[in-house]
Amino acid sequence: EYRPIAGTHPRGASEAEDEEIGRRLLADEKERAEHIMLVDLGRNDLGRVCEYSTVKVKDLMVLERYSHVIHIVSSIVGRLRPDADAFDTLMACFPAGTVSGAPKVRAMEIIAELEPARRGVYAGCILYLDFSGNLNSCIAIRTMVVRGRRAHIQVGAGIVADSVPEREYEETLSKAKALLRAVEVASTELRP
């Protein structure tokens, strides 16, 4: 199963506010276009290792709520070819379009040209792989690396033709909120 996540908005203060935010998020043309692009990219990636005509979109543009944000999420499935395994699937799908863009190879070249520092663990892969070949992975899409008394936080936002820089910036702040709260708690409540 491949689950592209794209389309993000801060949570509301109430259930009713979350419902309204969800409606607006699903109606937003920019968010829909970005999400559909990533669903198409995911279908293409899975198609590289799955049997012909088995790749299907199981769930399309479903809202999921997290502590500080609401996301649009889809689910794509397919049946692996007999000559492919879980690791082949990971290699076909990684890096995910949500952290690279499309077309993937050119997008990664642009990232290398424009970003002032290497990403480190950010946008990398955290996974579980057992001796039976079962694999479950996720993208390290919101990260905090702590060294000594310094925390380095990384988050991002998807940039497409219709992006409004101020909105993308606000999205990154919303995504960073839980990590910043963890730093706040650690620096005040855990101090001797």
Q: What are the tens digits of pLDDT across the range 113-122?
A: 999 988 999 9
pLDDT in tens, 10-65: 899 999 999 999 999 999 998 999 899 999 999 999 999 999 999 999 999 999 99
b/e string for 142-154 if b means 16 or more Cβ within 10 A? bbbeeeeeeeebb
Nearest alpha carbon to residue 142 among 186, 108, 182, 113: 182
How many Cα atoms occupy the beta-carbon half-sphere of 158 within 13 Å?
27
CB atoms within 10 A of CB 114: 7
The correct CATH number of 5-188 out of 3.60.120.10, 3.40.640.10, 3.40.50.1360, 3.40.50.1980 is 3.60.120.10
Please identify every residue annotated as catalytic. 71, 98, 122, 142, 158
